Amino acid sequence: MSEVSLSGICSSCQREVDTNLYHGSNSDKMELCKECYDQYAAKEMLQYWKDHIAEEERRANN
Ligand SMILES: [Zn+2]
């Protein structure tokens, strides 16, 4: 038995599609379709690299 119940509605685009639960930041669970998750993951990745590059620049300037 799984505790996880999916509504089958993507919480981002509100479409009734095949959804999955994904872990977001703060370990929130998000029910997203593949498409929205890809967008979310791309954004997260972009933010990660921005932070990473900013950190590198900070170090280089010290
Ligand atoms: Zn969606």
pTM: 0.71
Q: 5 is in which domain, residue-wise?
A: 1-62
Instruction: Determine the pLDDT at residue 4.
Output: 66
Owner of token pair 């990473």: 52
Query: 8-62 pLDDT, tens per residue?
Result: 999 999 999 999 999 877 778 899 999 999 999 999 999 999 999 999 999 999 8
Cα of 54 vs centre of ligand 1, distance in Å, is 31
Helix runs in 1-62, H state only: 34-61
Cα of 18 vs centre of ligand 1, distance in Å, is 9
Q: Is the pLDDT of residue 1 over 60?
A: no
Cα of 27 vs centre of ligand 1, distance in Å, is 19
Instruction: Determine the pLDDT at residue 26.
Output: 74
Instruction: Determine the pLDDT at residue 29.
Output: 87
Cα of 38 vs centre of ligand 1, distance in Å, is 9
Structural domain tally of the chain? 1
β-pairing, 29-33 with 19-23? antiparallel
Cα of 49 vs centre of ligand 1, distance in Å, is 24
